[in-house]
Chains A and B, each alone.
Chain A
């Protein structure tokens, strides 16, 4: 994994008269994402009048503001101060939570959808999982799936559409699963598809278009506009940037059981609070990941 991008200053640029864009780094890294999230939470805690949206992304930060209330120059100055504060933090940590997401890998729903969009695929004769395994030099799809759920993932960004998490695998760069996106996007993706494009995993929160390869289907909702499940009592979107995700493989029987719990309104995600330590994650990834994943034991 790359070292924390300590010195490099962010790039500030305007998206019209209502958006300030701060590029932390051109390349994706855990450290860049950490800075984006840290800046977003500090800026949010300041409750600056005139800021309407603070959107941390993978390696950048987008801020929407009302220039009638907060002049652009003043906003930039405030954000630069926040950037300096974050850069000064000697030992960056993130108070977040670990969440377990049950996934039915190699399920019939995404396989059926993938079969309908085969013509332009990199591997027209196979499945997305077979393509992904081969791209990563793995001997079988089972091994690919093991690598997928074997390490934790950091929610590096939430968006595109309502509540969709992008996730970055917390392992050294050379161990990250990388799979190219579809050559031309699908017009259909089942809701809750676990997808992958480039180095990012995602879970499609709603049914719709998509370009990520499809590996499985999450068993429970992540976007619940009716707020019928206990995890959605306060907000209809489940994921927040900075969440740490542990995928847990389930078979069809367990998938159906979870579906019944969702139907009955009783399903709850297993989760535990965790303080994520960037330095330890970068210096001792294997050991630190084991330690994180164990937080769910007994919960």
Chain B
């Protein structure tokens, strides 16, 4: 079976949990930006967490299914319509052959997810179905959806054992706020900032600019002070430059001391800007949910606190799946 795309939306791509093991040749992990929302959509549709879903950014697609289907929509708040009639997010939706699904205007956040029982069944490339647009691989032809596309859906047998949830407990659903506190671990090249520079990074309230996509998010705010130095051979001339190095996903760079950039799931794998802190894995989804204008503070945590936050997330997920991932 397949979904026929009538209108593609702004940037709708196929994503799963990502592609690991190829970062050393510049191919990023990819995968759903707001991983927890995507996973909840899969749970509702009766999939495993590994199935590919559609990630919709700002403006969703309009599509028709050629067969009966079980779908779920999660993530940023948006009106879901089936044949023009209002339906809800965060719950299991049954479609008949020929049903048309469309979406209203986003009421917050940035991205929402559509899962379908059986998953989006595009070919697996280097271990994942995720779309990597810059390299033109994964997803449907390595690109965002276009009008006229037929998006293949896998044969999803109803899951054996426990019946999938009818809806996600409201207490478990992510929230989409205009002010967020994001936990970071200082490190990498943090010694290149002056003490005052680090205070600025951790003390200021940053505003997410519209320059935010799957590669990274840029924030506006005060200037951050770098320690002046004689630049080592091979590093660029600016104090924020280093000899090109690998970039951690979630790392924060501040080119020229202005407008910090946080790399996200389609990160460029390396470059010549010093990274000074890294968003912890448990808070990467928070960034993915942020809409431009979101007031953001970076709060310093230790490795132990980061690992505790990670364990907490894991237990949240376990509740979602009944037993555990």
Contact = CB atoms under 8 A, between A and B. Distances in A.
B is bound to A: yes
28 contacts: A14-B188, A16-B187, A17-B310, A21-B187, A21-B245, A25-B243, A26-B232, A26-B243, A28-B234, A52-B21, A53-B24, A55-B23, A57-B244, A58-B234, A62-B247, A62-B270, A72-B303, A157-B244, A159-B23, A159-B26, A159-B268, A160-B268, A160-B271, A162-B135, A163-B25, A163-B26, A225-B135, A237-B26
A27 B233 contact: yes
Given A55-B269, A68-B310, A166-B244, A198 B234 contact: yes
Contacts of A92: none
Nearest to B308: A17
B132 interface: yes
Contact of A64 (B23, B132, B306): B23
Interface stretch (B103-111, B112-120, B273-281): B273-281
Contact of B307 (A67, A205, A225): A67
B134 A200 contact: no
Interface string B31-56: 00000000000000000000000000
Interface in B246-295: 246-251, 268-272, 275, 278-282
Given A21-B187, A62-B248, A200-B234, A14 B26 contact: no
A17 B245 contact: no
Contact of A164 (B26, B234, B248): B26
A201 B250 CA distance: 27
A241 B232 CA distance: 22
Contact of B248 (A21, A161, A180, A225): A21
Given A55-B270, A57-B246, A62-B245, A162 B187 contact: no
Contacts of A17: 185, 280-282, 303, 306-307, 310
Interface of A: 13-19, 21, 23, 25-29, 40, 52-62, 64, 67-68, 72, 157-164, 166, 173, 180-181, 198-200, 205-206, 208, 223, 225, 236-237, 239-241
A173 B232 CA distance: 13
Given A67-B307, A159-B26, A159-B270, 12 more contacts: A13-B187, A15-B251, A26-B232, A27-B243, A28-B232, A29-B233, A29-B234, A58-B243, A62-B246, A68-B314, A199-B233, A236-B126
